[in-house]
Every structure is written in structure tokens, then in C-alpha cells.
């Protein structure tokens, strides 16, 4: 699984989506696949009771567990349901982008993501680092930040700072992010009495959290564990790590190609039969002028 | 000018940026020591809100009340 990359990729997606997708929806979508399952993957204690998956990797990524959350169709179903309920295009598109980014990023560990579930259960994996959730949260962190996973996170942080640094500015937040999802940001401002500076801090919070946890977990790994750094492909951490697929390459290629083709057909068919109509009915996003975005107790100046 | 006073002026001129740096300087060591308590997405994402917005507004309000009382 990926760690801080899930926070950084939100800003790169936002940079490209601009006003067509809500940043908050991208962020929720990026959490979506793990939102209700990560606790059981690592295990947690509630008073005298302990809860954990017997086989964290299979529970997290296989068809027998909640691996469906890391598929392309999961993102489509999630986004379509939100589109139908809220009629918000920016939220539907944001959720779709976030879910897909999460699934695609997570396919870099040895467990991989069942991208084409339920049409194919074959996991797609580059095997760049080991899926070591069975070591628990701290063991997984030590393994991840001693392998190419840490490099992957750092690369995403650099990508934000080099290619999407404008998305972190106050002006970008004021002119692009907030107007795209004005209702939600205004609701947050009103409900929790947060001023413009606070909303900007929340928006930047994902980058802050990603950067700080990259540094903190790397420091923890170096200072408080004896995990050696291994930047070879997959790293040398077979303990607790592993892969979900043990067939031959050619079998995998056939099943993956069939799954990809079937998924493409289902996506195209769903769009033509249902989703395009829902998209049209949702209408254009509210083009709310900046002057209408003033919230209680504060004024917003039009640039 | 005394270096500390100069530093104070620089920080005052870039208050918001300085508060983000302060937030990171507090959060990263807390994360290393407390791990799961600090390094989770709720605390992590909302921490800058508290350091950059909530705490300064509470300080300003307390100062205002003190000056009004005096």
C-alpha cells in the first residue's frame, strides 16, 4: 500500500482537473478505498476485544476480502451514486479521480490491485515494494519507508512542488478550489466558524500531513527500528510480505487483458445507457461569482 | 539590530508561513514519539488549522479582552 502519496496526488489531480472536480471530493475519494477497512487490516483493540483480519493482505486486496474497493468499477459506482444523490458533477468527478488514483497507486506493491474486479480477479501489480500489512502499522511503516515506497512518496511530494506548486497558493484556493465547491466550503466556514485563513489551512492540510508523515515515519524507521534501507525492486523483505498471484506470466497477461477489455466495455455501456443521462441531468456546476461567496463575518474581495 | 529582534521582525512579516513551519516543527517530533496518536489523517490534516488559524485567533481574542479590561 502507499502512504503519503495518497495525500500528494490530490494536488496533482486538482492541478489538472481545475474547476471540473472538487478538491474535497478528490481527497475523500483518495481515502475511500481504505476508509472503513484499514483498521481491520492493521488490527485494533477496543477494550478487552481485539479486531483484526486473519490474513491482512488477502482481506485488504483479494476478492475474498474487501479487495473490490481497489477496482476501477468501485470508483465508478461510488461516483455514480453520489452523482445521482447530489447532482454534483464536481463531487462525482472528484470521487472518481480520487478512487482511481488510490487504486492505481496501490498497484505498486506486491499484492497489487484488482483493477478489473468483478470481471477479473487477477491483481495488477508492479511489485515495487512489499505489502507488509501483516507486520502491523509500525512494521509496515518501517518496511515501506526503507524501500522504494519511501522514494515513491518523496517523488510525489517533489511532483507537487515542481508541477503543481501553484495549487498550494492562497490565490489558487480563492479563485479555483473554493468556487468549484463553494457550497461545501461555505458550509464548513459557517458550521465551524472558520475564517478564510482557516479554510486555506484545511486545504493545505493534506500536503502538510503528507509531508510531515513522510518525514516522521522515515525518522521513526531510521531512529527507532533496525530496518535496513533496501532500494532494490520489491526490496528484500519477504517476512510478512508476499504476493496474491502465483500463476504464470502468460496466464496473468491473458486474464488481465480479458478483464481490461470487459471493464472497458462495461464502462462504455454504462456511460451510454445510464451515466451520460445522469451527468446531463446534473447540469453545469453552479458558477457562483466570488462576490457571493462572502460568509458570515468576513468579506471576500474579487481579484 | 540584534539578531533575535531581526528574526522577530522577519517572523512578524511572514506570520502565516512562520506558523506553518512552527506547526511542522511541533508535529513531526510528536509524530515520531506518539506515532498513531499524532500520525493519523484526522489530526494530521486539522493540525495546521489549529496552529495557523484557531490558536492565533484565541490569542488575539485573549489580548483584546485583556486590553479592554485594562
pLDDT higher than 50, residue A291 = no
Asked if B31's CB is within 8 angstroms of A216's CB, the reply is yes
CA separation for the pair A104, B58 (Å, rounded): 42
**Unique residue bearing C-alpha cell 468549484:** A180
Give residue A85's pLDDT: 95
For residue A237, pLDDT beyond 80? no
- Least CB–CB distance from A216: residue in B32, B41, B48: B32
> Residue A292 has what pLDDT?
44
> What pLDDT shows up at residue A47?
87
Tell me: pLDDT of A284 over 80.
no
Q: According to the model, what pLDDT value does residue A300 have?
A: 42
- Phi/psi class of residue B2: alpha, beta or left (left: φ > 0; alpha: ψ in -120 to 50)? beta
What is the phi-psi region of residue A117: left when phi exceeds 0, alpha when psi lies from -120 to 50, beta otherwise?
beta
Higher pLDDT among residues A48 and A155, named by residue: A155
Q: Nearest C-alpha of chain B: how many angstroms from A48?
A: 19
Q: Which residue of B has its CA nearest to A197?
A: B53
> pLDDT band for position A244 (50/70/90)?
confident
* Grid cell 507488509 in the structure block, residue: A132
Q: Cβ contacts of residue A44 below 8 Å, gap of 6+?
A: A50, A51, A52
Q: How far apart are CA A34 and CA A6, in angstroms?
A: 11
pLDDT of B6 reads 83
- Which residues of chain A make contact with B20, given a CB cutoff of 8 A? 204, 208
- CB under 8 Å to A187, separation ≥6 — which residues? none
Residue A23 clears pLDDT 50, i.e. is over it: yes
User: Where is average pLDDT lowest: A73-77, A161-165, A276-280, B14-18?
Assistant: B14-18
Task: Pick the residue of B32, B38, B59 with the most A CBs within 10 A to test the interface with A by mutation.
Answer: B32
Helix (H) or strand (E) holding A187: helix A182-192
Q: What is the pLDDT of residues A188-232, one digit of tens each?
A: 999 999 999 999 999 999 999 999 999 999 999 999 998 899 999
Q: Contact, A84 vs A282, CB < 8 A?
A: no
- Main-chain phi, psi angles of A46, to 5 degrees: -125, 95
Grid cell at residue A35: 476508509
Element housing A49 (H / E)? strand A49-51
Query: Quick one: pLDDT at residue A295?
Result: 43
pLDDT score for A238: 55
Distance of CA A298 to the CA centre of its chain: 33
What does the pLDDT read at residue A257? 96
Return the closest-CA partner of residue A73 out of A285, A269, A281. A269
Is the pLDDT confidence value at A137 over 50?
yes
Instruction: For chain A, give the mean pLDDT.
Output: 90
Instruction: Confirm or reject contact between A213 and chain B (CB < 8 A).
Output: yes
Tell me what the mean pLDDT of segment A125-150 comes to.
92
pLDDT at A290 over 90: no
The answer to whether A209 contacts B45, with C-beta atoms less than 8 Å apart, is yes
**Percent over 70 (pLDDT), chain A:** 91
Sorting pLDDT into bands at 50, 70 and 90, what band is A240? low
Say which residues have a Cβ less than 8 Å from residue A152's Cβ, sequence separation at least 6: A2, A5, A108, A128, A129
Q: Is the pLDDT of residue A103 over 50?
A: yes
Contacts of B1 (CB under 8 A, 6+ apart): B9
Q: What are phi and psi of A261, to 5 degrees?
A: -65, -45
Average the pLDDT over A42-55 and give the result: 89
Q: Is A216 on the interface with B (CB under 8 A)?
A: yes
Please report residues of B whose CB lies closer than 8 A to that of A220. 31-32, 35
Average pLDDT over residues A124-136: 91
The answer to whether A72 and A103 are in contact (CB under 8 A) is yes
- Kindly determine whether residue A205 and residue B31, on different chains, have CB atoms separated by under 8 Å: no
User: For A149-199, what is each residue's pLDDT tens digit?
Assistant: 999 999 999 999 999 999 999 999 999 999 999 999 999 999 999 999 999
- Asked if residue A102 lies in contact with residue A29, where contact means CB atoms within 8 angstroms, the answer is yes
Mean pLDDT of B30-37: 90
Amino acid at each position: 500500500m502507499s502512504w503519503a502519496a495518497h495525500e500528494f496526488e490530490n494536488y496533482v489531480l486538482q492541478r489538472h482537473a481545475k474547476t471540473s472536480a472538487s478538491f474535497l471530493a478528490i481527497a475523500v475519494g483518495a481515502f475511500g478505498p481504505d476508509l472503513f477497512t484499514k483498521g481491520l487490516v492493521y488490527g485494533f483493540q477496543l477494550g478487552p476485544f481485539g479486531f483484526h483480519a486473519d490474513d491482512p493482505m488477502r482481506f485488504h486486496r483479494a476478492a475474498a476480502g474487501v479487495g473490490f474497493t481497489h477496482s476501477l468499477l468501485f470508483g465508478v459506482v461510488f461516483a455514480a451514486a453520489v452523482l445521482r444523490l447530489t447532482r454534483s458533477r464536481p463531487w462525482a468527478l472528484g470521487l472518481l479521480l480520487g478512487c482511481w488514483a488510490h487504486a492505481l497507486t496501490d498497484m505498486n506493491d506486491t499484492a497489487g490491485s484488482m483493477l478489473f474486479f468483478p470481471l477479473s480477479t487477477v491483481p495488477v501489480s508492479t511489485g515495487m515494494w512489499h505489502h507488509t500489512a501483516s507486520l502491523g502499522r509500525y512494521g509496515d511503516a518501517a518496511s515501506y519507508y526503507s524501500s522504494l515506497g519511501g522514494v515513491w512518496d518523496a517523488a510525489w511530494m517533489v511532483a507537487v512542488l515542481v508541477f503543481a506548486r501553484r495549487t498550494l497558493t492562497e490565490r489558487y484556493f480563492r479563485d479555483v478550489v473554493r468556487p468549484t465547491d463553494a457550497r461545501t466550503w461555505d458550509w464548513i466556514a459557517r458550521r465551524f466558524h472558520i475564517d478564510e485563513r482557516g479554510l486555506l489551512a484545511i486545504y493545505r492540510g493534506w500536503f502538510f500531513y503528507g509531508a510531515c508523515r513522510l518525514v516522521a515515519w522515515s525518522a521513526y524507521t531510521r531512529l527507532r527500528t533496525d530496518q535496513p534501507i533496501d532500494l532494490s525492486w520489491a526490496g528484500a523483505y519477504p517476512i510478512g510480505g508476499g504476493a496474491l498471484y502465483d500463476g504464470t506470466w502468460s496466464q496473468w497477461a491473458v486474464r488481465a487483458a480479458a478483464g481490461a477489455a470487459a471493464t472497458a466495455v462495461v464502462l462504455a455501456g454504462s456511460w451510454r445507457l445510464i451515466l451520460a443521462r445522469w451527468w446531463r441531468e446534473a447540469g453545469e456546476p453552479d458558477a457562483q461569482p466570488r462576490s457571493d461567496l462572502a460568509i458570515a463575518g468576513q468579506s471576500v474581495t474579487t481579484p | 539590530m540584534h539578531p533575535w529582534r531581526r528574526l522577530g521582525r522577519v517572523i512578524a512579516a511572514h506570520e502565516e508561513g512562520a506558523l506553518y513551519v512552527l506547526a511542522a516543527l511541533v508535529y513531526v517530533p510528536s509524530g515520531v514519539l506518539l506515532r498513531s496518536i499524532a500520525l493519523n489523517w484526522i489530526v494530521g490534516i486539522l493540525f495546521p488549522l489549529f496552529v495557523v488559524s484557531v490558536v492565533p485567533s484565541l490569542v488575539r481574542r485573549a489580548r483584546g479582552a485583556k486590553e479592554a479590561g485594562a
